[in-house]
């Protein structure tokens, strides 16, 4: 009897563009993407940091690299990766403590994570990068 339940045909939707993830699902995927992005861009940050500490001349050259608009966009994106990963990590810690596990609370906490991470990115980015 159990074998029949296992072999039951289930509908599958493999058309990826038509799949609509709920907001907590999008948050989860972006949490993983932001973690990978932080990991992959860490050598770039370490290079900038190490170069800024060598001498006043290399500090000036690193400062000119960071002043380029493309570098500012990359740094702003990295800052958002960090803020999003940090805020989503706090949300996941609370979920591990069984706080906000209900559907409405999970959706609300997802919206809060997105809002807080974007606001923090704009505040810190405006203060540090511009």
* Half-sphere exposure for 65 (CA within 13 Å, toward CB): 15
Its CATH architecture, for the domain 25-128, is: Up-down Bundle (1.20)
pLDDT tens digit sequence for 99-127: 999 999 999 999 999 999 999 999 999 99
pLDDT tens digit sequence for 48-98: 899 999 999 999 999 999 999 999 999 999 999 999 999 999 999 999 999
- Write the Ramachandran bin of 9: left for phi over 0, alpha for psi from -120 to 50, otherwise beta: beta
What's the pTM value of the predicted model, to 2 decimals? 0.83
């Amino acid at each position: 009897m159990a074998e029949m339940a296992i072999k039951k045909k289930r509908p599958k939707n493999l058309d990826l563009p038509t799949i609509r993830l709920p907001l907590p699902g999008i948050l989860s995927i972006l949490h993983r993407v932001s973690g990978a992005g932080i990991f992959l861009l860490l050598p770039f940050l370490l290079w900038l940091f190490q170069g800024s500490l060598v001498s006043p001349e290399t500090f000036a050259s690193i400062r000119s690299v960071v002043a380029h608009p493309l570098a500012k966009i990359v740094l702003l994106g990295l800052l958002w990766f960090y803020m999003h990963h940090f805020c989503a990590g706090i949300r996941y810690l609370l979920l591990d403590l069984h706080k906000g596990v209900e559907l409405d609370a999970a959706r609300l906490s997802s919206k809060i994570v997105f809002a807080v991470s974007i606001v923090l990115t704009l505040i810190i980015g405006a203060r540090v990068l511009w």
